[in-house]
Structure 1
Amino acid sequence: MSTLQQQVESVRNAHGVPALGALILSSTRVLEVALTGKRRADEETPVREEDRFHIGSCTKAMTATLIARLVDAGKLRWEQTIGETFPALKSEIREAYHAVTLEQLLLHRGGIPEDRAPDPALMLRLRALSGDMQTQRRQALVAVLQREPAAPPGSQMLYSNFGYMIAGAIAEQATGEPWETLMRRWVFNPLKMRRVGFGAPGKPARKPDQPRGHLGQCRTPVEPGPLADNPPVLGPAGTVHCALRDWAKFAQLHLWIAQGKRTALLKPETARRLHEDPYKQGYSMGWGTVSRSWAKGQVLMHAGSNTMWYALAVLAPALDRGWLIVTNCGSDAAQQACEQLLHELAHP
């Protein structure tokens, strides 16, 4: 057992999570990776390095990257508004939202109410939607934007999963293709991310083919299915799952960008815009932005959870290092396990 495996296993045991994994990367290669534990808490099948973990809101940086690529391709504009994109829906949504721009949505400044603890009635309504994903997202957009803004659009940051869903819907309207297809074509395939998908990974089976998410105190596994993730319409805000090495390819792209290096995927000015924090709010497009002495400067970070999984991504450009940490439980203990492991790895 490697030193990293020993660290991961020690933290996993201390917090009682079914499985825990960590990957350490530089901008050019994966340095170390280790996973320990079980796919299901009540079953002995061990996790493997190629297993897929749900990364929740860490999806947001991927959606922002998709939008950036579509901007470079001339299919979208940062200042494009909800009203001009969906003229047929303007009569169904609050007028205050008509002028909200794509950039504002990605910076959580669209005025949409903060929704880290979403309205249960609205979530049930979203689960009941029918039709293809593009149709469902347009229906969901109307359901969300019929409600009063929580603040004048553009005036303050209000963390909004629905804002990212609407950004995804704008990309769909501009291209005629669902967000899921766009993600594969414009982000996953160019980065050669193969072990990646949407929703809870795997198929229902007595012997788990992939890790299962867990509820409660990490003792209640949830088989893949409609209730194993948030409603699919929220995909652009947080339904991606992937293996650690595949996620690392995306993280390396952003570490490269944060170091001011050119990438074949994005124009330099577009790439820079993804990490800018023009309002000094501690958040850019899909990344939390903070300054840390141990990192010798800026850190890009984001956590993700659908309450059944927990994931954490941290990039330190000045150190040329990144850390990706995952577990198949969404409890407080799972969050504590990921944060403790990050602390041990980033502060050896």
Structure 2
Amino acid sequence: MNLFYSLIAFLVLVLVLVLVLAINNDIQDLEQLLKQLVNEQRESNDLVGLGAVVIQNGTVIGPSVSGERKKGSQVLLTDNDKWHIGSITKSFTATMIARLVEKGELSWDTTIKEAFSEVDGLNPGWNSVTLDHLLTHTSGARRDIPFFDNFKKPADGLERMMAREKLVIKILKKKPKITPGDAFKYSNAGYIIAGVMAEKKTGMPWEELMRQEVFAPLQLHSAGFGIPQDGEDKLSQPWGHWNKNWLSTMLAMKASNIGVKAGTQSDITPIAGPAGTIHLSLKDLALYANEHLQGEQGRGSLLKTETFHRLHHPSKNNYAYGWFKDSQKIAGAGTVYWHTGSNDRWEASLVILPDINTAIAVTSNESYDITIQSVQEIINQLVQPLIESYNQSIQLTAKVLSH
């Protein structure tokens, strides 16, 4: 009898080893494919820099990067470099606010009237607008902040908090662009308003709330705000790139990649932080995506399962809380949660595929039409191999468990 059980244990061990070897081989193949796709897309489209990472079943594949930190510098990108992710920041802001909601400090139904009760002169059209409206782009808020506010650079901390509130009050003194709740209207301004509501309730800057509620719990050590800081202009981090040929840009000719790509360390105003100023490494972006992936499947650590489901449940125009949901976006992949981000100098895309327990992130330190096409092409070419890899892991795991 002891010999029988020993034999069974030995067979199970062999099956486990076969499973591990098969998974490792799949990972190596996927890493090679990722590297190939990133290199091909960057070189064929003459991009300054391109990077990508995948996480499947909790295993990080990559990152893979190709190109320079600054055009013409010959300083190459590294796996640990940081990338500006633009409007992907919105899901981070919504996640932080969800933490405050679970703590009872805010409610999805908290209204602008309640949050700004001490402020006189707000347009009554905002009275019933809630955090829910703001985070799902159904608040009626304008798309962007007033033009000249884009040039303001208040310091981190109290000064920036005060500048944000001042800007938001200016917006709220004018009537909403559309009737709140009636329709989807993408709004960076709406996310800034939501960020200020969180600041007013907690007395803490949005940046500190992000560090406390999202970065620290998920150990996103590379995460920060604005462009990745290049210490003493020594190209210690990538620079963003923009097209100096203003005429080609004005004539919407960016797809032809006309003009001179100039490195820049400029960014949108930090006042707009809640709508789009986070930077972090590709690996940390994958870990953040994986938390949402696990949360959707009931295994998240940051929020309750029902809260994750709310964050991922779309309102109008298939938009949830910082995520678009689209089952048709990528053929054969099932449900897709996604968002893109850009400050016109950087480009980023994040895709979550819960049906195959996978997330994909692709980033670039330049933003043109051809960059967007390259990012999408990498994602499209990765999906089928990732579906096959996931199915194989499920089959092999089932064989081991059956024994």
Q: Tell whether the structures are fold-level matches, with TM greater than 0.5.
A: yes
- Equivalent of 2:126 in 82, 86, 97: 97
1:233 aligns with 2:233: no
1:67 aligned residue (94, 97, 121): 97
TM-aligned CA deviation for residue 296 of structure 1: 4.2
Give 3-state SS (helix, strand or coil) of 1:92's partner: coil
SS of residue paired to 1:221: strand
The answer to whether the aligner puts 1:343 opposite 2:372 as a matched pair is: no
Q: Which amino acid is the alignment partner of residue 311 of structure 2?
A: L
Question: Which residue is equivalent to 1:247?
Answer: 285
After TM superposition, give the deviation of residue 93 of structure 1 in Å. Answer: 2.3
Q: Equivalences for 1:278-297 in 2 at 5 Å? A: 278-279=315-316, 281-292=317-328, 294-297=331-334
- More helix by proportion, 1 or 2? 2
Mapped partners of 2:358, 2:233: distance in 1: 39
Distance in 1, matches of 2:155 and 2:218, equals: 32
Specify the alignment match of 1:150 in structure 2: 177
Tell me the amino acid that sits aligned with residue 126 of structure 2.
Answer: Y
**Equivalent position to 2:206, from 169, 173, 179:** 179
Q: Does 1:316 align with 2:343?
A: no
Task: Tell me what 1:112 maps to.
Answer: 141
Q: Secondary structure at the match of 1:12?
A: helix
Q: C-alpha separation between the residues in 2 aligned to 1:277 and 1:166?
A: 20
Cα displacement (A) at 1:103 = 0.7
User: In the aligned structure 2, how far is the partner of 1:159 from the partner of 1:61?
Assistant: 14
Specify the alignment match of 1:166 in structure 2.
193
Distance 1:236 1:71 in 2: 17
Identity %: 35
Which runs of structure 2 are paired with 1:113-128 in the superposition (5 Å)?
113-115=142-144, 119-124=146-151, 126-127=152-153
Matched-pair contact (CA < 8 Å) for 2:333–2:383: no
- Distance between the aligned counterparts of 1:3 and 1:127, measured in 2? 42
Does structure 2 conserve the Cα–Cα contact (< 8 Å) formed by 1:297 and 1:318? yes
1:234-256 deviation line (CA, Å, top 9, x unaligned): 10110000000111111001111
**Partner of 2:65 in structure 1?**
35
Asked which structure has the greater CA Rg, the reply is 2
Aligned pair partner of 1:207 in 217, 234, 238:
234
The Cα offsets for residues 162-208 of structure 1, whole Å up to 9 and x where unpaired, read as: 11111111111111110100101110100010011000112364431
Distance 2:332 2:271 in 1: 36
- Please report the TM-score for the alignment, with normalisation by the length of structure 2: 0.80
How far apart are 1:269 and its partner, in Å? 1.8
Letter in 1 for 2:161: Q
Work out which structure has the larger RCO, using CA pairs closer than 8 Å and 6 or more positions apart in sequence: 1
CA distance in 1: counterparts of 2:168 and 2:45, whole angstroms:
39
The reply on whether 1:256 has 2:298 as its aligned counterpart is no
Q: Does 1:54 pair with 2:78?
A: no
Number of residue pairs matched by the alignment: 338
2:263 partner letter: P
SS of aligned partner of 1:298: coil
Report the counterpart of residue 76 of structure 1 in structure 2: 106
Q: Per-residue CA shift, 1:233-285, capped at 9, x if unaligned?
A: 11011000000011111100111122x31322212221211011144x21100
Alignment match, 1:20:
50
Q: 1:168 is paired with a residue of what secondary structure?
A: helix
Q: Return the letter of the residue paired with 1:288.
A: F
Q: Structure 2 CA distance, aligned partners of 1:249 and 1:71? A: 23
Structure 1 stretches lacking a partner, 5+ long: none
User: Which residue number corresponds to residue 262 of structure 2?
Assistant: 220
Q: What secondary structure, in the 3-state scheme, does the structure 1 residue paired with 2:322 have? A: coil
What CA distance in whole angstroms lies between the structure 2 residues aligned with 1:128 and 1:253? 32
Q: What's the TM-score, normalizing by structure 1?
A: 0.92
Superposition RMSD in Å: 1.9
Aligned partners of 2:111 and 2:177: how far apart in 1?
18
Note the C-alpha offset of 1:149.
Answer: 1.5
Instruction: Quote the Cα distance in structure 2 between the aligned partners of 1:92 and 1:295.
Output: 52
Q: Give yes or no for the alignment of 1:275 onto 2:312.
A: yes
Whether the aligned pair in 2 keeps the contact of 1:19 and 1:327 (CA below 8 Å) is: yes
Mean CA deviation greater in 261-270 or 207-216: 261-270
1:44 maps to 2:74? yes
1:28 is displaced (CA, Å) by 1.5
Q: Which segments of 5 or more consecutive residues in structure 2 lack a partner in the other structure?
A: 1-30, 244-256, 386-403
Deviation (angstroms), 1:119: 4.9
Aligned partner letter, 1:175: T
Q: Which residue does the alignment assign to 2:14? A: none
